[in-house]
Amino acid sequence: MNDDEQAPEVEVVIEIPRGSFLKRGSSGQIDFVSPLPCPYNYGSVPNYLGQEGDLLDALVLGPRLPLGSRIRVKAWGAVILADRGMTDDKLVCSVHPPTAAERRGVLRFFRLYARCKGLLNIWRRQPGRNACDGWCEAAQAIARAAPLPDDWRGPRIGF
């Protein structure tokens, strides 16, 4: 079986279009305004909960997608992010497998993101470890997630 057949397909809802300065949560509410534009289309998989209790995060490589877009796309891997000591996986999705350079770029971005989020969490007085713990298979991140329960009303903790 080749990589294309092994990559799971997921539906992603875009919450932050590539190039946007507005960081939105899964509820659509603006969390903060970033000083830098988001380098990826960023959103969530609406039928899975990540280990931190919010929808499973996903980024979509490629051209800018409109806010609220729903796209079915292959998940080629995932970045393992620790946020306040909780695992917060980020699926990496695209139409084609990411190149080695794209993969390095995604990891570089999330290493910087983890440092910045750690500083923000210190300022917010929210303890816990923040770090980018590397890359894993998309299936591993999906296996750590839980199916979205019918009674889910949003994340149980504030971000």
Q: Per-residue pLDDT tens for 90-113?
A: 999 999 999 999 999 999 999 998
Q: What's residue 84's pLDDT?
A: 83
Position 68 pLDDT exceeds 70: yes
Query: pLDDT class for 2, splitting at 50, 70, 90?
Result: very low
pLDDT, mean of residues 17-44 = 83
Position 44 pLDDT exceeds 80: yes
The domains of the chain are located at 3-144
Q: What's residue 3's pLDDT?
A: 54
Query: pLDDT class for 1, splitting at 50, 70, 90?
Result: very low
DSSP character string of the chain: --HHHHSPEEEEEEEE-TT--EEE-TTS-EEEE-SS--SSEEEEEEEEE-TTSSEEEEEE-SS---TT-EEEEEEEEEEEEEETTEE--EEEEESSPPPHHHHHHHHHHHHHHHHHHHHHHHHTT--S--EEEEEE-HHHHHHHSEEPPTT--S-SS--
Query: pLDDT class for 156, splitting at 50, 70, 90?
Result: low
pLDDT, mean of residues 33-47 = 90
Position 57 pLDDT exceeds 90: yes
Q: Decide which of 159 and 58 is more confident.
A: 58
Class of the CATH domain delimited by 3-144: alpha beta
Q: What's residue 54's pLDDT?
A: 87
